């Protein structure tokens, strides 16, 4: 198990220090960060906490997953490395995420053009003629 935890559904007023203090009851917190928008500095409502040991991380998940934090039930789970599905590179700004599985991106083939109405009409007439010829 990873020692880094994903913490979701955070109140938007929670700071990284608040997150660190909240998780201190489960053991030694190495790092705690609330992810914010670059342009506004406003919280995105999730963050990451790194615990000292895997046992402490497990204890934090058991203790805090679904726990109330300022009126919101937080989600705590093991953090996983995020992979960029397009290039396969890990983004520098956000090294981990709670993404369950990488998403495969498929290239779309150009859409086939629909036949013009006149072409459909001609095709229908040809079919009618074939049916009459068979009778």
Q: What are phi and psi of 68, to 5 degrees?
A: -85, 130
pLDDT at 115: 53
Our CA dihedral for 104, 109, 114, 119, rounded to 10 degrees, sits at: -140
Tens digit of pLDDT at every position of the chain (135 positions) = 669 999 999 999 999 999 999 999 999 999 999 999 999 999 999 999 999 999 999 999 999 999 999 999 999 999 988 776 665 555 555 455 455 555 565 555 555 555 555 566 666 777 777 767 666
Best CA proximity match to 93, nearest among 101, 85, 84, 102: 84
Domains in the chain: boundaries: 4-97
Best CA proximity match to 49, nearest among 38, 37, 65, 60: 60
Domain 4-97 part of CATH 3.40.50.150: no
Best CA proximity match to 70, nearest among 125, 12, 8: 12
């Amino acid at each position: 198990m990873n020692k880094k935890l994903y913490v979701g559904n955070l109140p938007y007023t929670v700071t990284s220090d608040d997150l660190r203090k909240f998780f201190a009851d489960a053991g030694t917190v190495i790092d705690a960060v609330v992810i914010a928008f670059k342009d506004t500095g406003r919280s995105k409502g999730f963050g990451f906490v790194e615990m000292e040991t895997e046992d402490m991380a497990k204890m934090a998940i058991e203790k805090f997953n679904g726990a109330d934090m300022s009126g919101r039930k937080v989600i705590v789970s093991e953090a996983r490395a995020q992979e960029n599905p397009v290039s396969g590179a890990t983004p520098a700004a956000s090294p981990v995420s709670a993404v369950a599985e990488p998403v495969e991106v498929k290239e779309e083939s150009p859409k086939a053009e629909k036949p013009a109405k006149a072409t459909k009409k001609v095709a229908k007439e040809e079919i009618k003629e074939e049916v009459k010829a068979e009778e």
